[in-house]
Chain A
Amino acid sequence: MPSRQLLIALLAFASAGFAQTKPPYAAPRTIDGKPDLQGIWMTRNAASFDVSEVAESRQIPYLPEALEREQKGDRVDPIAHCSMPGVPRITYMPFPIQIMQRPGYVVFLYEYQHDHRIVQTNSRAHLDDIDFYLGDSVGHWEGETLVIDVTNLNDKTWLDSARHTHSDQLHVVERYTRLGPDVIAYEATIEDPKTYSRPWKIAMPLHRITEAGFELREQECLEGDSGRAIHPPYRPAPKY
């Protein structure tokens, strides 16, 4: 017959087993064994207005001279001239994003202005001596996470419409981790030695659009008079 102490120990052990956290979510796999991030996703936050909403400690660690430069700089959002919004802003523009995956590639199709990023996941070298609005993206997998290293970014974009700027030294590392069937955790580490005193992070969920039959539509930008962007209507309001 077990002693009383042993019984208590066994009960304690059993209850500890029930209190354990569930194992982390493992996404379904693509044919080449990678976590499947495919689908249509969208953020739900105010980051496109002010990225400090989604920043760690809600602060952007500006160098004083960079803040001064910014305050004396352009006051018209480059996207008002139909410019591409840059990275990471393209992720939190309030428009759906379709992710497609094939062996060696993750393809981001953004509804916003039909922008796109083809990301190779074989850790190829960055391109030399050429810069882009959406940078040069090189990806690789770390367990459940897609890590994308973004360099070759030009200095012509803002991080949001609140005029948070950066230099051409901007370097962004993005991390996409599927947390469940309908959520991807998105994190970006932002560094720019000419603008910030240290690297800083933003984080937000990407939510799957679950509306049946939802598809990306063509969203266009036109340069109106006085260089004001016009986005013609393209998705009718639902009928109730």
Chain B
Amino acid sequence: MRPAVKFALVLFASLALAQSVPDLEGVWQPQQNNAMFSVLPHAPGFLLGTGSKTGIVEGGVLPYQPWAAERVKYRLDHMDMDPTGHCHYEGVPHAMYFPFQLFQTGTDIAMVFENMHAYRIIHMQGQHPKDGYQAWMGDSRGHWEGKTLVVDVANNNDKSVFDMAGHFHTDALHVVERFTPIDHDNIAYDVTLDDPKAFTRPFKMHFSFKRAPKTFQIMEAGCFEGERDQVHFNDTVKLSEHYDHELNSEAGAAKKDGK
């Protein structure tokens, strides 16, 4: 083969390899099945939502340890404890139930949300801080595995929650997200969560993102500025009496099956 042809082939191949990292940029709308109300299947009307037949948790059960399942029930009966009503950050993956615009450079990927004027910086280099730093949104470090963006989220605090249904976690939470483009307009979102202080085993969540229409842009949205609800929060209705919290634990689910 002539040297010039060889050179051209090598150049083409290296360019092709350089292009192989997918472009995930754009504005994305999560198809999240009302996960903000509960990540588990729930009936319409629960927490004034429109319900979800499947939820987003694989298997439809959150494997809480018995003490934690009781804690979920307590939180459901004391809704004032829900941080989403107090203009707090959602954390990961809760923040991902809301639309965002993704910007991608070699060193950082930014996800910029309208909700809570939040953003996530996915660092494509460096390590999780080891100085005791804890954050509502954790610390995110990303890398590519073929066409999948894999994000490791650590340094989570114990205050963010998965939804409005009392489903909490501790600061031992470790999350691994996988963003896999299905086609130009859809990204599959798979999450593995591990929190040995509250759960009996790791568990998974899944939903997807759909590309937003061009007319949809991320705008500013404040929370503290116009907040008028907190003064009305109260616990006069015990929601756990109306919701089978036993579905939150595998022990509870097994009990239901008569094992």
Contact = CB atoms under 8 A, between A and B. Distances in A.
- Asked if the two chains touch in their complex, CB atoms less than 8 Å apart, one says yes
B131 A236 contact: yes
Interface string B206-241: 000000000001111010110000000000000000
B163 to A, nearest CB: 20
A81 B87 CA distance: 12
Contacts of B116: 114
A114 B112 contact: no
Interface stretch (A140-148, A196-204, A215-223): A215-223
B137 A218 contact: yes
Given A118-B218, A220-B89, A236-B131, A107 B224 contact: no
Interface string B93-125: 000000001011100101010001111010100
A86 to B, nearest CB: 11
Nearest to A236: B131
A82 B133 contact: no
* Chain A facing B: main interface SS: loop
B244 interface: no
A84 B117 CA distance: 10
Given A107-B110, A107-B112, A220-B136, A116 B222 contact: no
Nearest to B113: A116
Nearest to A152: B220
A133 B220 contact: yes
A98 interface: yes
Nearest to A81: B224
Interface string A167-211: 000000000000000000000000000000000000000000000
A232 B116 CA distance: 18
B219 A132 contact: yes
Given A116-B119, A118-B101, A118-B112, A217 B224 contact: no
Contacts of A235: 133
A134 B220 CA distance: 8
Interface of B: 25, 86-89, 101, 103-105, 108, 110, 112, 116-119, 121, 123, 126, 131-133, 135-137, 217-220, 222, 224-225
22 contacts: A83-B222, A84-B220, A84-B222, A102-B25, A102-B103, A107-B110, A107-B112, A113-B117, A116-B112, A116-B117, A116-B119, A130-B219, A133-B222, A215-B121, A218-B89, A218-B136, A218-B137, A220-B88, A220-B136, A221-B224, A234-B133, A235-B133
Given A81-B225, A100-B103, A107-B110, 17 more contacts: A82-B225, A83-B222, A84-B220, A84-B222, A100-B105, A102-B103, A116-B119, A130-B219, A132-B220, A133-B222, A134-B220, A156-B225, A217-B135, A218-B89, A223-B87, A223-B224, A236-B131
